[in-house]
Amino acid sequence: MILGHGDDRYLYSREILADFSSNVYYKGLSIGLVHHLSTQLFRLKNYPEANAQSLQEALAQWHEITPSQVLATNGATEAFYLVAHAWRGQSATVVIPAFAEYEDACRVNDISVSHLEWSSLKQDTTFATELVFLGNPNNPTGALLSVDFLQALLLNNTAITFVIDEAYVDFTHERKSLVNSLDDLPNLIIIKSLTKTYAIPGLRLGYLLSSTDTIAKIIVSKMPWSVNALAIEAGLYIVAHKEQLTFNAVDLLQDTANLMAALSIHVKVMPTQTNFFLCELINGTAADLKAYLVEEHSLLIRDASNFKSLSPKHFRVATQTPEKNALLIKGINAWMEK
């Protein structure tokens, strides 16, 4: 899906005062990271490492695994496409609603796709496909499954490879990852994103964690130099300063709860475990609301109608600062009165 994602502010000529369509951390880019990258521009005159080897070694140390279990990628999206290419021509289940690139990556690689509603997923669910794609936390709902639930699910389907997207795990209270299960679950692939937590979506930086054998299978079709020199430097800086760059999820999720409570006066608000959540309009469409908020209030929300199993009444909101949240509350109140 080239178009139809959040943060499509580039489509509008007017200034956007607050972007609720993007799930990137709302306090933005680290000044320290900006300064570091400004001193690394000389690296642009040379090719980067063909496979971002130094970053993979740093990420392996961070997660206490071997470098052969890590693959750095041009954002998490490249990781989804690499996995799909490695299973080209086979079959996959996508647990929906879900990030569209799971299915798009499969379609491009001639993988037949089945769907399973998130609400139907149980620990003892069994699958008949070679792959399963699952977001945890899920995008766009913010729903979260426990580590115990996922471990049981994978152990009940040892012949199936599970692609678990943990792009938003740092935006949850407990930040529980499956990384410590990698050695016990050879059918596990974890996709990580550095762009959301560290507010660097323009650099495109993510990575994939799995068994050595699975990484070897996937890397065959990876093009060299897909991770650029500045992205590698950003990743190395983040790993070296991860303690200082870790934000307080408690405050962020309290802001989220406050925003949800305010919006629930006029719209149906779905439960979430992270910093973004789904809403459903009683009257009107999300597309109309989005257009109104842009034109009258310079605010941007995510029209969620193009997520499978959602309706034209659904939209997604990602928490911003309390001041910006107040602008959204005011804007939606005005639309409802109109």
Q: For the residues 293-319, what does the mean pLDDT come to?
A: 96
In this prediction, residue 10 carries a pLDDT of: 64
In this prediction, residue 247 carries a pLDDT of: 87
Nearest to 124 by CA among 162, 172, 86, 157: 157
pLDDT 10s digits, 184-242: 999 999 999 999 999 999 999 999 999 999 999 999 999 999 999 999 999 999 999 99
Asked whether residue 58 carries a pLDDT value surpassing 70, the answer given is: yes
Identity of the residue numbered 243:
E
Asked whether residue 109 carries a pLDDT value surpassing 90, the answer given is: yes
In this prediction, residue 246 carries a pLDDT of: 87
Give the tokens for residue 216.
Answer: 């070897």
What average pLDDT is seen over the chain? 95
Percent of the chain with pLDDT over 70: 97
Q: Return the domain boundaries, the chain.
A: 9-27+247-337, 31-244
Q: What is the 3-state secondary structure (H, E, C) of the chain?
A: CCCCCCCCHHHCCCCCCEECCCCCCCCCCCHHHHHHHHCCHHHHHCCCCCCCHHHHHHHHHHHCCCHHHEEEECHHHHHHHHHHHHCCCCEEEEEECCCHHHHHHHHHCCCEEEEEEHHHCCCCCCCCCCEEEEECCCCCCCCCCCHHHHHHHHHCCCCCEEEEECCCHHHCCCCCCCHHHCCCCCCEEEEEECCCCCCCCCCCCEEEECCHHHHHHHHCCCCCCCCCHHHHHHHHHHHHCHHHHCCCHHHHHHHHHHHHHHHCCCCEECCCCCCEEEEECCCCCHHHHHHHHHHHHCEECEECCCCCCCCCCEEEEECCCHHHHHHHHHHHHHHHHC
CATH fold of 31-244 reads Aspartate Aminotransferase; domain 2 (3.40.640)
In this prediction, residue 15 carries a pLDDT of: 87
- Per-residue pLDDT band for 338 (boundaries 50, 70, 90) equals confident
CB atoms within 10 A of CB 326: 15
* CA gap 101, 107 in Å, rounded: 10
Its pTM stands at: 0.95
Contact indicator for 303, 317 with CB cutoff of 8 Å: no
Strand 131-135 with 161-165, pairing:
parallel
Asked whether residue 174 carries a pLDDT value surpassing 90, the answer given is: no
* CA gap 194, 205 in Å, rounded: 6
What homologous superfamily does CATH list for 9-27+247-337? Aspartate Aminotransferase, domain 1 (3.90.1150.10)
Give the tokens for residue 239.
Answer: 């790993």
* CA gap 239, 36 in Å, rounded: 13
* CA gap 66, 64 in Å, rounded: 7
* CA gap 67, 209 in Å, rounded: 9
Distance (Å) of CA 293 to CA 8, 19, 43, 219, 300:
14, 11, 42, 44, 7
Give the tokens for residue 194.
Answer: 């550095």
Strand 161-165 with 188-193, pairing:
parallel
Contact indicator for 202, 304 with CB cutoff of 8 Å: no
pLDDT 10s digits, 124-168: 999 999 999 999 999 999 999 999 999 999 999 999 999 999 999
Location of structure tokens 């490249």 = 78
In this prediction, residue 55 carries a pLDDT of: 98
In this prediction, residue 14 carries a pLDDT of: 78
